[in-house]
Amino acid sequence: GVAHIKYDLNLLDKAEAVAFDLDSVEIDEYLSGVDRFQAKLGIMRLMLMGSPLGIIGLIATFMLDRAGEISQPSIGYWTFAIIWIISGTAYTLTEPDWRQEL
């Protein structure tokens, strides 16, 4: 995403500054705040993982119901649908406004 690209560009600028003994105060300030961005992106990825879990769970519940392996498929449908909804909502709420300056 945008944050990763900006991080990579600043990292390359830092390497150039170190190699040619240039002033890199602005780059150092940016890189000191990178941990916050990385943590935010990691949390967003974690929250997004509930979506595939919910989808695969719904498909598995459907297939097990069709095969006659479970007697009350509504429990599976509700459980995985709720996981999918909560995950999608949490991801949407934690996504930062990418139009703001990082």
Instruction: Convert the pLDDT of each residue in 22-69 to its tens digit.
Output: 999 999 988 888 777 777 777 788 888 999 999 999 999 999 999 999
- CA-CA distance, 83 to 64, in Å (whole number)? 19
pLDDT given for residue 93 in this prediction: 86
Say whether pLDDT at 5 is over 90.
no
User: Cβ of 25: how many Cβ atoms within 10 Å?
Assistant: 8
Q: The dihedral of CA 46, 48, 49, 50: what is its sign?
A: positive
Percent of the chain past pLDDT 90, that is, above it, reads 54
Q: Which amino acid is at 99?
A: R
Q: Which positions ≥6 away from 87 have C-beta within 8 Å?
A: 47, 48, 49, 50, 51, 53, 54
Residue 85 has pLDDT above 60, yes or no: yes
Model confidence at 102, pLDDT cuts 50, 70, 90, reads low
pLDDT class of 74 with cuts at 50, 70, 90: very high
Mean pLDDT for 3-12 is 82
